[in-house]
Chain A
Amino acid sequence: MIRVTSRYWLAVMSAWTLLVGIPNAGFAVEAGRLVEKDGKYVFVESQDPTVKLLMERALKQGIITKEEYDRAVKESEERAYLLQPSFKAWYDRGFNFSMNDNAFFLKIRARFQGRMTQRFRNEAWRNPGDAKNFPELLGVFGDYRANRSEQEATTFSLRRLRLYFMGHLFNPDFKYFIQLRGETGENAQAPGSLQLFDWNFTSTHVPWLNAQLGQYKVFFNRAQINPTASMQFAERAMVMDAFTASGLDRRDIGLTIMNDEEIYPVNYYLGVFSGNGPNFNRLGTFVSEGPTEGTAASPAQRNINANTRLDVDRVMLASRLNWNIIGRPGYGEGDLVYSETPQMAIGGGYAYNPAINTSTSNGGIGIDLANLNIRRQLATFGNGRQLGNGIIDYSTWAVDYVAKYRGWSMQGEYYFKNVNRHEKGLRLGNASGWYAQSGYYLIPRRLELAARYAYWDPDTNAADDLIKEFNVAASYYFQSTYDHKIVLEFSNTAMGTGGFSEGRSAPLPAGFGVTPLDAVGGTLVENRIRIQYEIFF
């Protein structure tokens, strides 16, 4: 087993320090500048045209010498430069603020996704509901709850509210990116709130060795790298969320080195991360321990036990390789730009995230106090079957393909996750899944029709547990960019309730009764219509 320790961190942090310290070439002073006038940009000479004309005539007639002319021009330009404001501000895909020397740039943007959903579910959603893939965890002990509902639901939600601060410091090669998010809570364990989503710095001083440090989406698979603003559908397929690099969340805290995607046809990404999701690291997770070191905590004396951090010297490794075979299709879904030449790329990723504590090792959640952050991430991203299986090492693979041409696009990915349980006695297999989607612009750069099919086997040891999803969507792009659009989507999902899940299937842990949450069984079917309006400004 690979054991990655914090010594790796020291090495990569040193590399980062070296990278951001590389100076950048300065910019030459121009004889004029672009200024905004009536909403347009015009080039204005630094020197007044009348003075310039008189000076040129004076030079031509020999009234002044060439040296005097040059000195006057230089002093005139210096005067104009000193008199102008030292900053500029304008609107272009966000509010932009920049110092004149371009040593500092700030772009402030906001994104709104408002959604109306009409949902129809079958009887199985009433009983048994979903206790396995997307269970809800309540209380400080994280008691399992099945996710149940009646058949019809009509909801309005602010699906994504984002606030962005981005730009560069010192020079255009040292960038920062900050993202805050808010959204309507639709889950008992994830109420709406404002949260720090991204905060990272990127060095692009060396084209073949860019580096990103902070909290951001791990460069692992195509579906996760692509922002939600540039999707063909209102939402990712469930299988896309389930196979993140960490197995917990698409975001993490760490460092990635990569080359410049704008320059090189083959792109690499190598990253090292905490491996515990955003705003969290391994010191935030623990197991309960009795008063004597190494002894199991006793529920009877819960208040005088210890919180013990184990495996806190581990980190997650993530890697990706992408080859733009023809052109440069990028990660945005669909061929919004109406590619004049065929675009094609293949890619693949591998991530290893060791020692994730899916619960204390006593069989079921609800009998021990613990930080529930990791468990809630597992449940939120549909990996609830892995809860209650003690310490797990995740090894996840992904391969992807994309092609685009003249408004048509197709992409697909295959995922496999090796779930290595330290306690082999528990019942849980690996996981695999794939999706394929295709779209076509009926009106180039404006109206797109897209379809997607996704398949997910959350436990390869279990039967009747498959999750199948079909989506078809029509999207209208108001300004031929991803920034302003409306999506109408129909989805059909079928989720099997078979298989075994710790603490929810029979046999239940002692003290938890005899009737499991999946006693009724069946397939959870949902048909859903979403209308989503999005504006990114």
Chain B
Amino acid sequence: MNCPSMPKMVWFAVALLITAATGCARLPYTTRVIADDVRVAVMLQHDVEPVSYSHPAQLSAGEIGAILRGVSLREQARLPLRWFDEERLPKTGFREDEVLALAPRLAEALRVAGTGERVYFELRAPGLNPRYDRDITAGWIAIQDSYFHIAIEYFHSQQPATLFSPYDYNYPTPRSAPGAYVLYFEPGRFWVVDPKTNHRAVEFNSFLKSVSGARP
């Protein structure tokens, strides 16, 4: 088989890689860490999509807690199982202890977030192998006009707590790809489509007015 001479191929490959490497970020990246401890991590992420969130936003921990308590979800099954998935009941998105740990940090983050930044959060608990695994619930929130957007990427997912396997030395253990979840919100009348993004979000102004127990 004839093939191009090696130097040409090498230079082509090098040029391609350098060109590609000088490109822009293609995944959201952290701009500021609000909290990072054994229980919870909250950070601001620059969104790579062209967005203009209504940040900074003034929501109290109680108000955010009230919103989080209404979130439930179901893991999105692959086709054809998805057709039969409606029979499975959604799970509560956040336990009370998780709401209490998370809400104050989210409120703090929303107060300092910029218009191009979303708030990433991660709830951590010891995994089934407590030293080396974590039970992770993670996602992000953002506010656009009167819509509270929330996305879940991991829901009580077992993920490595170390960068590399503690047993298979130097084998990298990156976190697996985010899962796909279908989110719900109760009361459902506040779970509406944001016309700007075409995604479902909580119409939080109306919701908070209806909630008497939203603590400041």
Contacts and interface: CB of A to CB of B under 8 A. Distances in A.
A109 B167 CA distance: 12
B128 interface: yes
Interface in A269-327: none
A160 to B, nearest CB: 14
A439 B128 contact: no
A260 to B, nearest CB: 10
Interface in A328-349: 328, 330-332, 336-338, 340
B41 to A, nearest CB: 13
Contact of A449 (B16, B29, B131, B133): B16
A481 B163 contact: no
Nearest to A443: B26
Interface in B17-35: 17, 20-21, 25-27, 29-30
B14 A451 contact: yes
A172 B131 contact: yes
A40 B155 contact: yes
A333 B68 CA distance: 39
Interface residues of A, number: 69
A120 B27 contact: no
A167 B177 contact: no
A213 to B, nearest CB: 13
A330 B130 contact: no
A472 B170 contact: no
B135 A482 contact: no
A166 interface: yes
Given A34-B128, A102-B130, A102-B131, A330 B169 contact: no
Contact of A451 (B10, B30, B125): B10
A308 B158 CA distance: 56
A338 B17 CA distance: 15
Given A227-B170, A336-B172, A340-B29, A102 B129 contact: yes
Interface in B125-177: 125-133, 135, 155-156, 158, 160, 162-177
Given A88-B128, A262-B163, A406 B172 contact: no
B81 interface: no
A418 interface: no
Label chain A's interface by main secondary structure: strand
B167 A41 contact: no
Interface string A153-179: 000000000001011100010011100
A229 B51 CA distance: 38
A105 interface: yes
A527 B3 contact: yes
Contact of B17 (A102, A337, A451): A451
B130 A492 contact: no
Contacts of B79: none
Given A332-B172, A451-B14, A261 B26 contact: no
A468 interface: yes
A229 B10 CA distance: 25
Contacts of B38: none
A225 B170 contact: yes
Given A41-B156, A102-B131, A438-B14, A481 B1 contact: no
Given A27-B130, A34-B135, A449-B16, A120 B171 contact: no
Contacts of A451: 10, 13-14, 16-17
A114 interface: no
A485 interface: no
Given A120-B1, A438-B14, A480-B177, A202 B25 contact: no
A93 B13 CA distance: 34
Contact of B128 (A90, A332, A472, A492): A90
B171 A440 contact: no
A269 B172 CA distance: 19
B122 to A, nearest CB: 14
Contacts of B171: 227, 229-230, 332, 482
Contacts of B160: 93
Contacts of B158: 41, 90, 92
Interface of A: 27, 34, 36, 40-43, 88, 90, 92-93, 96, 98, 102, 105, 107, 109, 120, 164, 166-168, 172, 175-177, 202, 204, 212, 216, 225-227, 229-230, 261-262, 328, 330-332, 336-338, 340, 405-408, 410, 438-440, 442, 444-445, 449, 451, 453, 468, 470, 472, 479-482, 492, 494, 527
27 contacts: A27-B130, A34-B125, A34-B126, A34-B135, A40-B155, A41-B135, A90-B158, A102-B129, A105-B129, A166-B165, A227-B170, A261-B170, A262-B164, A328-B163, A331-B164, A332-B172, A340-B30, A405-B21, A438-B17, A439-B17, A445-B177, A449-B17, A468-B6, A470-B10, A480-B177, A481-B173, A527-B3
- The 5 A-B pairs at the shortest CB distance, nearest first, are namely A451-B13, A332-B172, A166-B167, A408-B21, A480-B177
